[in-house]
Every structure is written in C-alpha cells, then in structure tokens.
Structure 1
C-alpha cells in the first residue's frame, strides 16, 4: 500500500461519513470524481506545488461548477488544502468509492483475459460471482495476453487464477518439487 493511500484513508472515511449523514453518497461521489480529475491534471499539479498559490486559492479549483463556497463539500476540500493534502485527492476519491461500494453491497471485480470477454460471458461470470460472494458485482475486464488463455479474476481479497499461464506455473512447481 502506498503512502498516499495511507494518508488518504482517514480523509476518505471522513468524506464518506459526511456524505452518508447527509444522505448524499451519489452526490459526493460525483463531486469527488470531479475533484480527483482536477487533481490529476498536470497543470494543476504544478500549481499545487507553487508557493505563490495558497490553499484558499487552490481549493476553489476543485469545486464543481455551482458548488457554494460554504458547503460541506467545499469545507472538506478547504480542509484538505489547509493540511496540504490536495495531491492525494485522487486517492481520497478512490477510497470513498470503495467505501460506497461496500456500503451498497457491491464488489468490484477485475478480470484479466487473453482476449476480450463477450457480453454473454461477462453476464454469466457476473451471475456466478454474485452467487459466490452474495453481493452485486461491478465487473471490469482488461486484455492481458500474458495469461495465454483463460482468465485471472481479482475480487478484492480473493484471486482466482484460471489462466493457462497459472496452470503452467503450478505444473512447473509440482515437477520441480
């Protein structure tokens, strides 16, 4: 785990608690996604490190259009700015999204396969994983030719390696031991 993720965790938890108390998880999620996109911008990153710009000036850049300067979200961003934590805003947004998914009973699953999954395959996989984990599944898939065939399913704390590469590695291990 990176240092930025460790620093971001308490801020993500605080944002989640504020949003949940206000019944505005979806609203805060979109605001944090906007702020994270701003934080990832290379031009904004140079401004963050510039001593000529104080935290108050910078904090306004991270607010979506129409956001009031005295809103709870604006105060949250101002707190990040005051504590020089604007560079970790993308990690805060990622942590918030993870907490939101957990609260909503959604599990984020990444599938790496040698070829793109067809829609029917993805639906069948989502249904099987939902049954196994007892949660709604948010599935993303990436093409990774190094798996050779099959797939590697990463579901948080659980990794299911059904790839040809994984099978070959296990076979090689059993032959050498």
Structure 2
C-alpha cells in the first residue's frame, strides 16, 4: 500500500485550492483538524474498515461527527469516504497545514525550554527567530527540565538546540576526540 503522505498530497492540494478560492483558509483548517481527530478515533477506524457499512452510512456518521459547514467541505468529505481514504485524513490535515504555512509565509515553532517562559520572553524569542528564519512563526511552548538550562526550537526540519544539555554533550564529544 502507498504511504499515507503520498495518498494525502493530492487531497490536501485540492482542499487548499478550494479553501484559497473560497478565501476560507481558517475554516478549512478547522474542518480538516476536526476530520483528522475523528479519523484517529478507534471506533471510527473500525467503522471505516467494516465491510458491512456502506459508503453512505459512513459518510453520514462522519458528517455528523465533523459537521462540515460548506458544500465544498461536504463534497470533500464525501470524496474521501467514497475513495476509502478516511485513514489518510490526518496526513491530509498535515499536508494542508504545510500548504497553508507556505502560502502565508509562516511556520509552526515548537519551543522547549528548561524553565517556564513568560509572555515577554516568548515574544522576544519569537521575534529573533522570525528575523533569523524570515517567516512568521506560530509558537508552541513546553517545558523539559532535562535540558538543564536554555531552550530548543524546532521549526519544520530545522532544530536550534541552545540547551545546556546539548552544550555539555558537544563538550564531552570534543574532549573524547
């Protein structure tokens, strides 16, 4: 079977194109987020793989659970169900978010700090990272005391590790060489 990300790509592109044409990127983002969450539910996965459930029944259950607000969303959901690709909805959402971020010139940033950061510190770090990376960031902050001190930022596939733990590891590696 093909990778879910490969299957999801054309669906995400179609959803993005419709969302952009409707000038409704936030609404489609919310719809696909809900669809992704519903598709990951164990009961829904069992229902989707049950051969005694027909396409119309499954589409009705998903429509009731996700509550699409436009005809485009309902048609999209129906197309996914008819193609038996409900399992790909989480990957569709991820790919859609990537298209949305590329279009907006933004990215999600995961900031992991050794200690809790206040709003001003997060804003200062966000501003510095936006200047360095040249894109608007949507930060998510968490705390990991195993970093000892400092922080680690992940934006896409880029990682900036300024933690004390990483510095100690680099120092140990240099001393062992």
TM-score, normalising length from structure 2?
A: 0.88
**1: distance between equivalents of 2:86 and 2:103?**
25
**1: distance between equivalents of 2:8 and 2:164?**
37
Listed as ranges, the gaps of 5+ residues in structure 2 are none
Show the counterpart of 2:79. Answer: 79
Show the counterpart of 2:24. Answer: 24
**Secondary structure, in 3 states, of the residue corresponding to 1:52?**
coil
- Tell me if the contact between 2:148 and 2:163 (Cα under 8 Å) persists in the aligned partners: yes
TM-score, normalising length from structure 1?
A: 0.88
Deviates further, 165-174 or 55-64? 55-64
**2: distance between equivalents of 1:32 and 1:66?**
9
**2: distance between equivalents of 1:97 and 1:150?**
29
CA-CA distance at 1:67 after TM superposition = 4.1
**Alignment of structure 1 residues 1-177 onto 2, 5 Å:** 3-63=3-63, 64-65=66-67, 67=69, 71-177=71-177
**2: distance between equivalents of 1:134 and 1:61?**
43
**Secondary structure, in 3 states, of the residue corresponding to 2:139?**
strand
CA-CA distance at 1:173 after TM superposition = 1.4
Deviates further, 83-92 or 57-66? 57-66
